[in-house]
Structure 1
Amino acid sequence: MENLVLLAPMAGFWDTLMAPLYWAVSGLLVLAHNLFSPLFGADSGLTWTLSIILLTIVIRTLLIPLFVKQIRSSRNMQLLQPKVRELQKKYSHDREKLGQETMKLYKDEGVNPMASCFPLLLQMPIFFALFQVLNSAARGVPKGTFMTQELADSVAQATIFGARIAGTFLPLNQFGAEQILALILILAMVGTQFYVQLQLMGKNMPPDAMTGPMAQQQKMMLYVLPIVFGVGGVAFPIGVLIYWTASNLWSMGQQFYVIRQSPTPGTPAYAAWEARMRMKGHDPATLRPGVRPPKKAKAAAVATETPVEPTNEELAAGDPNTPRVQRQQPRRQTRSNRKR
Structure 2
Amino acid sequence: MPDLLSPFTSTVAAALAGTHSLAEALGLPPGSAAAWLLALALLVVAVRGALLPLVLRSVRTTHARARATPQLTALTRRYEGRRDLESLQALQRERRDVHAEHGISRWSLAPALLQLPLVYALYRVVSDLAAGHAVGLLDAGLVASAGAASVAGLTVTARLGDAFARDWRSGAVLLGLALLAGALSFATSRWFTLPLTDLSAGPALAANVSALMPWLGLVGILAAAAFVPAGVLVYWVVNNAWTFAQQGLVRRLAPTPGSPAAIRRLGG
Relative to the length of structure 2, the TM-score reads 0.74
Q: What's the secondary structure of 1:142's corresponding residue?
A: coil
Q: What's the secondary structure of 2:235's corresponding residue?
A: helix
- Residue 179 of structure 1 is matched in structure 2 by 171
The answer for unaligned runs of 5 or more in structure 2 is: none
Q: What's the secondary structure of 2:176's corresponding residue?
A: helix
8 Å CA contact retained: 1:194, 1:226: yes
Larger helix proportion of the pair: 2
Which moved further from structure 2: 45-54 or 62-71? 62-71
- The answer on 1:121 being equivalent to 2:116 is yes
Q: CA deviation at 1:58?
A: 0.6
Write the letter of the residue equivalent to 2:254. Answer: S
8 Å CA contact retained: 2:8, 2:117: no
The CA distance in 2 between the partners of 1:128 and 1:264, in whole Å, is 29
The CA distance in 1 between the partners of 2:134 and 2:62, in whole Å, is 39
The CA distance in 1 between the partners of 2:213 and 2:114, in whole Å, is 16
- The answer on 1:55 being equivalent to 2:35 is no
Write the letter of the residue equivalent to 2:224. Answer: G
Q: What's the secondary structure of 1:40's corresponding residue?
A: coil
Q: CA deviation at 1:241?
A: 2.0
Write the letter of the residue equivalent to 2:154. Answer: A
- Residue 17 of structure 2 is matched in structure 1 by 30
Q: Residue 260 of structure 1: which of 236, 247, 252 is its match? A: 252
1:61-113 superposed Cα distances (whole Å, 9 cap, x missing partner): 11001112233434444555555554555555468959958964556544467
Percent identity of the aligned residues?
21
- The answer on 1:134 being equivalent to 2:129 is yes
8 Å CA contact retained: 1:263, 1:273: no
8 Å CA contact retained: 2:131, 2:229: no
8 Å CA contact retained: 2:194, 2:210: no
Displacement over 6 Å in runs of 4+: none
Q: Residue 212 of structure 1: which of 175, 197, 202 is its match? A: 202
Which moved further from structure 2: 239-248 or 113-122? 113-122
Q: CA RMSD in A?
A: 3.8
Aligned residues between the structures: 256
Describe the shift of the 1:192–1:103 C-alpha distance in structure 2 as closer, same or farther (beyond 3 A).
farther
1:101-134 superposed Cα distances (whole Å, 9 cap, x missing partner): 8964556544467458436523442234323431
Q: What's the secondary structure of 2:40's corresponding residue?
A: helix
- Residue 20 of structure 1 is matched in structure 2 by 7
Describe the shift of the 1:44–1:228 C-alpha distance in structure 2 as closer, same or farther (beyond 3 A).
same
- Residue 46 of structure 1 is matched in structure 2 by 34
Write the letter of the residue equivalent to 1:42. Answer: P
Relative to the length of structure 1, the TM-score reads 0.60
Determine which structure has greater relative contact order: mean sequence separation of CA pairs < 8 Å that are 6+ residues apart, divided by chain length.
Answer: 2
- Residue 165 of structure 1 is matched in structure 2 by 156
Q: CA deviation at 1:166?
A: 2.1
The answer for unaligned runs of 5 or more in structure 1 is: 1-13, 276-340
- Residue 234 of structure 2 is matched in structure 1 by 242
Write the letter of the residue equivalent to 2:250. Answer: V
Write the letter of the residue equivalent to 1:197. Answer: S
Describe the shift of the 1:40–1:133 C-alpha distance in structure 2 as closer, same or farther (beyond 3 A).
same
